[in-house]
Amino acid sequence: MIEQIAFALALGLATFLFVKSIKRIRRNIFLGRPLPLNDRKSERWKLMAMVAMGQSKMVKRPVAGFFHFLIYAGFVLINIEVLEIVLDGLLGTHRLFSAPLGGFYPIVIGFFEVLAVAVLLACVVFLYRRHISKVRRLNLREMKGWPQKDATNILVIEIVLMLALLVMNAAEGAFPEPYQTPAPFLVSGLLSPIFAGWSYESLHILERICWWGHILGILAFLNYLPFSKHFHIILAFPTVWYSKLKPKGAFDNLEAVKKEVELMMDPNADPYAAPAPDASAEPVKFGAKDVRDLSWKQLLDAYSCTECGRCTSECPANQTGKLLSPRKIMMDTRDRLEEVGKGIDAQGPDFKDEKQLLGDYISEEELWACTTCNACTEACPVNLDPLSIIIDLRRDLVMEQSKAPASLNAMFTNVENNGAPWQFSPQDRGKWAEELSQS
């Protein structure tokens, strides 16, 4: 009974804290500009099924894709066993599903054990890639410090959780007669001989320690997620659902600019027909200086990024030694958003500080290195769009601050005056055709 109460308290506390974190992140995401993205629903569901559930872009890098799939499948399916563990904890039962499932039960548990071993193996491979073979993209500049530690934490925690599960089952499998149990199981049964000669009492204590360790570990891990890149296991699904569906080359046309241009260019437009400016309304901004100028989708992207660095490894600017890393764009956006979120928690919704995303997190040099080639968005396994953030920050630099590089300002002047990015007379546009008929 005491165990049941302790379990219910632990579960309640973990759920409470997790819901609180989710609310915080949700609030932060919706600090972004509104953006309607509920069109073409059937396409979006299909995309989510393919890209998020089916991992279609993950497997484009077969090694990482394969081992990631093992962890993904393990995570999804072992949750069925976690459900049993939670019910056992609340009801004070032991292996609640074994009676109704009968002879099928050991097969199911055996299957989960195979998955647990696969997850374990994948985590070891990932630790190896990260720390021993040192895959370049996993060890770039922006990964120093917390991001690298976070990644290692996740892998180690998953290894510990899987070990707890296997040792728990192995201990039970070694129970001496007459203690009835559905064990031994497929994998842990092979480990049971380690415990030969142990008394029932010792085995039972070990089994309980692993049981508690496993479930408390899961509850703790659950509450680690919202502070970690590992939160992608939840956000990958919505973020893919809200993917950009237009061709990658289509950049958004700023609505605010559209109105201004219409007023300026259309001889029939009546400037006085425009609604009287609302004194309380925020002045219209062109582009983004800080996270609250970005759309909620861009902020959702930032929280969904798991820092795999495929974007950066495909980025032509990064490959040629430039400062730009699309992954860092996502990480900076998230880190700044977290900072703003904390400020709002402490000082209320009007929170302001001396910092902003543009300049304090992302430098102009990074922004100007982008060739807008879309290699990053193509590479991202969950369709994140760092390019749109780069463009919104460039828009602020150019339209709010007039801080384009001098050569780009010259290009703008040419486009405006000559209708071409170079200094040629518009009258000479058709000259090639004259040359053609003369040749």
Partner 1 sequence: MSDFKVATMAEMAAEGKSPDVLFWVGCAGSFDDRAKRVTKSLAKILHSIGLSFAILGSEESCTGDPAKRAGNEFLFQMMAFQNIQVLNGYGVKRIVTACPHCFNTLRNEYPELGGHFEVVHHSQLLQQLLNEGKLRIEGGSFKGKRITFHDPCYLGRANEEYEAPRALIQKLDAEMLEMKRSRAKGLCCGAGGAQMFKEAEPGDREVNHARAEEALELKPDVIAVGCPFCNTMMTDGVKHYEKETQTSVLDLAELIAQANDL
Q: Within 281-310, which residues bind partner 1 (CB under 8 A)?
A: 286-287
Answer yes or no: are the C-beta atoms of 265 and 258 closer than 8 Å. no
Answer yes or no: are the C-beta atoms of 31 and 292 closer than 8 Å. yes
Among 65, 110, 189, 316, binds partner 1 (CB under 8 A): 316
Query: What are the structure tokens assigned to 50, written together?
Result: 């393919």
Q: How far is the CB of 232 from partner 1 (least distance, A)?
A: 23
Q: How far is the CB of 309 from partner 1 (least distance, A)?
A: 16
Taking CB under 8 A as the rule, which mask of x and - marks residues 410-429 in contact with partner 1?
xxx--xx--xxxx-x-xxxx
**Which is closer to partner 1, CB of 34 or CB of 349?**
34
Of 11-19, 139-147, 344-352, 387-395, the segment contacting partner 1 by CB under 8 A is 387-395
According to the binding rule CB under 8 A, does residue 135 interact with partner 1? Answer: no
Of 77-85, 173-181, 348-356, 369-377, the segment contacting partner 1 by CB under 8 A is 369-377
First to last CA, the chain: 99
What is the rounded CA–CA span in Å between residue 195 and residue 171?
7
Q: How far is the CB of 59 from partner 1 (least distance, A)?
A: 14
According to the binding rule CB under 8 A, does residue 439 interact with partner 1? Answer: yes
Residue 10's alpha-carbon distances to 18, 19, 80, 220, 324, in angstroms, are 12, 14, 19, 10, 44
According to the binding rule CB under 8 A, does residue 121 interact with partner 1? Answer: no
Place of tokens 């609302």: 278
**Which is closer to partner 1, CB of 58 or CB of 375?**
375
Half-sphere exposure of residue 200: CA atoms within 13 angstroms, side-chain side: 7
E strands, 108-230, are: none
Q: How far is the CB of 409 from partner 1 (least distance, A)?
A: 9
Of 1-9, 158-166, 227-235, 375-383, the segment contacting partner 1 by CB under 8 A is 375-383
| Residues 72-91 contacting partner 1, CB under 8 A | none
Q: What is the CA radius of gyration of the chain?
A: 28
**Which is closer to partner 1, CB of 220 or CB of 408?**
408
CB within 8 Å of 404: residues ≥ 6 apart: 397, 398, 412
CB within 8 Å of 243: residues ≥ 6 apart: 44, 47, 51, 383
| Amino acid identity for residue 230 in this structure | H
| Residues 211-250 contacting partner 1, CB under 8 A | 246-250
Q: How far is the CB of 434 from partner 1 (least distance, A)?
A: 9
